[in-house]
Amino acid sequence: GPRTIPELAAGRSVTRQQIQKNVEDLRKLKLVTVIENPAHKRSFYVSLSDRGKKLIAGMIAQESSVFRALATEYGLEDLKTTHRVLGTFMRQLESLL
């Protein structure tokens, strides 16, 4: 659902300002829309536009196709191990940045 810029930035290793810039770029591409936030005049809500939703749906479909291909190539245990190792790697990398 719709989120504010600070909500989008929370829990990510990027600044609120970077999220703001990304949102402005996405607005220019008509991939997101902004909605007035009655609780805060300067902190609007950001939501995917219909165009953005279609793009995301296409990306998910493509990703699913790749995952299906990988699942036939590698066993479930191999994929679980890869997921665990990459997750650990990413957490360690983020802690260093």
The string of pLDDT tens digits covering residues 59-70 is: 999 999 988 888
d(CA 66, CA 4): 32
What pLDDT, in 10s, does the model give residues 18-53?
999 999 999 999 999 999 988 888 889 999 999 999
Q: Where are the domains of the chain?
A: 3-48, 53-96
Q: Do the beta carbons of residue 16 and residue 6 sit within 8 Å?
A: yes
